[in-house]
């Protein structure tokens, strides 16, 4: 009897071991599955989460001076994104038959321009930045401030003009050229480290020139359906106040806005370089032809032309790929605006990014170049300091588009 019970017990233990190694169903509240299988399941779940919502490629575009740099706090040091400013001293736009103006231009590029192979150098540059970010950053040759090469003399006049226009942003930065180059070189190294640490991070390109706004259909075709564009718009009265009244000498004078605008129309006259010119800019050409000198009137028409042309061009983009954001909303309602932007991107906003944006817009400790500290009070200085006749002139010129964007007339 004793041996019989012992045999039954041994058989029962053997059967139990057999079942535990082969069964993957729940048995008496226990899942019989080895540790290796559990690790594999976790790996599959992680892969599923990674590919369930593909991260988008983001392009930020605006009219220079509108404050788009404030959006970096939503993407900077994020495991999902790598934030890149374009252009900088080292990360420049390649030279092509079309010269990008640092302020704005009236030239439109369409989807068909991309599909027909126009501007191939720009297409290749965008592909490299978006799809081979790590290699693109590694291939940048960093120029240290102590080893700056001076521009070569001589050459055709157009090359001299291009070099002058391309070097212009560097001359506007504070500090010496050497310090600027060293700081920008460290910025590139920082991006390299970030991409190495987060290889799946997607690019966020802050296109600092207003020239890109009218080329969004071209960019959409080149980058593909993953592209999401954020256009930051600002109240024209605040923008013009910044350009004319916020500093002495004014940014209007420092940036030589009339010269920028006159160059636009000279270059756009060559059809090979500009397939299509935005009709909204023709009024500016007429103002310059009659030697208009009122900066308020010129800037009001510039804001109107650029914004109206952008709104028209954006209608040709897929609805889910374009978002218009007001600078005032970022400053006054940072949490709601951050959540709206990330809902548009299909990515949850991280608490760290949200806290950073709220801190930036509420403490007077963050400033934008040429503008100073950012806060709900400071961005409305134009209400107290701008002459009333200038306000009325801007509202008369820009009124229709202002209403469309939700900007109301100023009431005394």
- R_g of the chain computed on alpha carbons: 28
Dump pLDDT digits (tens) for 167-220: 444 444 444 567 888 889 999 999 999 999 999 999 999 999 999 999 999 999
What's the token pair of residue 227?
């592209």
Q: What is the dihedral of CA 31, 35, 37, 41, to 10 degrees?
A: 80
Dump pLDDT digits (tens) for 326-367: 999 999 999 999 999 999 999 999 999 999 999 999 887 788
Dump pLDDT digits (tens) for 261-276: 988 887 544 566 788 9
Query: Residue 273: its pLDDT value, please?
Result: 77
Helix, strand or coil for residue 85?
strand
Query: Residue 144: its pLDDT value, please?
Result: 62
* Domain, as residue range, for 244: 53-142+170-405
Contacts of 269 (CB under 8 A, 6+ apart): none
Helix axes 295-314 and 236-244, enclosed angle (nearest 10): 140
Pairing, β 372-373 against β 367-368: antiparallel
Contacts of 108 (CB under 8 A, 6+ apart): 214, 215, 217, 274, 275, 276, 277, 278, 309, 313
Indicate the pTM of the whole model.
Answer: 0.80
Query: Residue 267: its pLDDT value, please?
Result: 53
Omega of the bond leading into 249 within 30 degrees of 0 (cis): yes
Omega of the bond leading into 133 within 30 degrees of 0 (cis): no
Count of the separate structural domains present in the chain: 1
When pLDDT is cut at 50, 70 and 90, the band that residue 97 belongs to is confident
* 269 part of a folded domain: yes
Phi and psi at 181, nearest 5°, equal -65, -40
Burial letters for 38-74: b for 16+ Cβ neighbours within 10 Å, e otherwise? Answer: eeeeeeeeeeeeeeeeebbbbbbbbbbbbbbbbbbbb
User: Is 50:173 a contact under the CB 8 Å cutoff?
Assistant: no
* 256 part of a folded domain: yes
Dump pLDDT digits (tens) for 38-70: 454 344 345 435 444 589 999 999 999 999 999
Q: Give the integer Cα–Cα distance in Å for 194 and 279.
A: 42
Query: Residue 69: its pLDDT value, please?
Result: 94
* 160 part of a folded domain: no
What's the token pair of residue 31?
């899942």
Q: Does position 379 have pLDDT exceeding 60, yes or no?
A: yes
* 39 part of a folded domain: no
Considering only residues 45 and 325, tell me which one the structure prediction assigns the higher pLDDT: 325
Q: Does position 225 have pLDDT exceeding 60, yes or no?
A: yes
Dump pLDDT digits (tens) for 278-321: 999 999 999 999 988 999 999 999 999 999 999 999 999 999 99
Q: Give the integer Cα–Cα distance in Å for 24 and 99.
A: 65
* 1 part of a folded domain: no
User: For the domain that residue 250 is a member of, what is the CATH number?
Assistant: 3.40.50
Contacts of 375 (CB under 8 A, 6+ apart): 331, 361, 362, 363, 364
Contacts of 298 (CB under 8 A, 6+ apart): 257, 258, 261, 284, 287, 288, 292
When pLDDT is cut at 50, 70 and 90, the band that residue 2 belongs to is low
Mean pLDDT computed over every residue of the chain: 83
* 8 part of a folded domain: no
Burial letters for 210-232: b for 16+ Cβ neighbours within 10 Å, e otherwise? Answer: bbbbbbbbbbbbbbeeebbbbbb
Q: Does position 33 have pLDDT exceeding 80, yes or no?
A: no
Query: Residue 14: its pLDDT value, please?
Result: 62
Q: What is the dihedral of CA 344, 347, 348, 354, to 10 degrees?
A: -70
Q: Give the integer Cα–Cα distance in Å for 227 and 221.
A: 9
* 5 part of a folded domain: no
Query: Residue 54: its pLDDT value, please?
Result: 83
3-state helix, strand, coil in the chain (%, to 5): 60, 10, 30
* 41 part of a folded domain: no
Mean pLDDT, residues 233-250: 95
């Amino acid at each position: 009897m004793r041996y019989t019970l012992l045999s039954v017990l041994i058989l029962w233990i053997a059967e139990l071991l057999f079942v535990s190694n082969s069964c993957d169903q729940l048995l008496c509240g226990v899942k019989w599955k080895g540790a290796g299988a559990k690790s594999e399941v976790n790996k599959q779940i992680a892969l599923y989460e990674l590919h369930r919502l593909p991260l988008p490629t983001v392009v930020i575009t605006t009219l220079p001076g509108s404050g788009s740099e404030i959006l970096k706090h939503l993407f900077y040091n994020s495991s999902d994104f790598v934030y890149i400013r374009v252009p900088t001293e080292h990360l420049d736009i390649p030279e092509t038959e079309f010269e990008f103006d640092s302020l704005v231009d009236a030239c439109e590029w369409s989807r068909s321009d991309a599909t027909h192979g126009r501007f191939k150098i720009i297409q290749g540059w965008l592909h490299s930045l978006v799809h081979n970010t790590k290699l693109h950053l590694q291939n940048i040759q960093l120029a240290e401030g102590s080893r700056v090469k001076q521009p070569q003399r001589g050459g055709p006049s157009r090359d001299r003009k291009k070099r002058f226009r391309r070097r212009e942003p560097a001359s506007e930065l504070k500090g010496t050229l050497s310090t600027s180059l060293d700081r920008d070189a460290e910025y590139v190294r920082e991006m390299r480290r970030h991409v190495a640490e987060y290889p799946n991070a997607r690019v966020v390109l802050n296109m600092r020139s207003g020239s890109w706004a009218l080329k969004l259909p071209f960019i959409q075709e080149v980058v593909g359906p993953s592209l999401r564009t954020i256009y930051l718009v600002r109240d024209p009265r605040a923008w013009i106040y910044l350009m004319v009244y916020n500093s002495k000498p004014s940014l209007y004078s420092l940036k030589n806005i009339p010269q920028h605008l006159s160059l636009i129309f000279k270059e756009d006259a060559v059809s090979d370089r500009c397939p299509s010119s935005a009709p909204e800019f023709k009024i500016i050409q007429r103002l310059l032809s009659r030697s208009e000198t009122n900066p308020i009137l010129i800037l009001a028409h510039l804001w109107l032309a650029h914004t109206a042309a952008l709104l028209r061009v954006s209608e040709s983009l897929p609805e889910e790929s374009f978002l218009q954001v007001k600078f005032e909303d970022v400053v006054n309602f940072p949490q709601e605006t951050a959540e709206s932007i990330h809902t548009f991107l299909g990515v949850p906003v991280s608490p760290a990014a949200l806290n950073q944006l709220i801190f930036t817009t509420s403490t007077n400790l963050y400033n934008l170049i040429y503008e100073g500290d950012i806060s709900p009070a400071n961005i409305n200085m134009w209400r107290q300091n701008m002459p009333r006749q200038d306000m009325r002139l801007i509202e008369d010129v820009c009124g229709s588009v202002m209403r469309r964007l939700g900007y109301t007339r100023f009431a005394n």
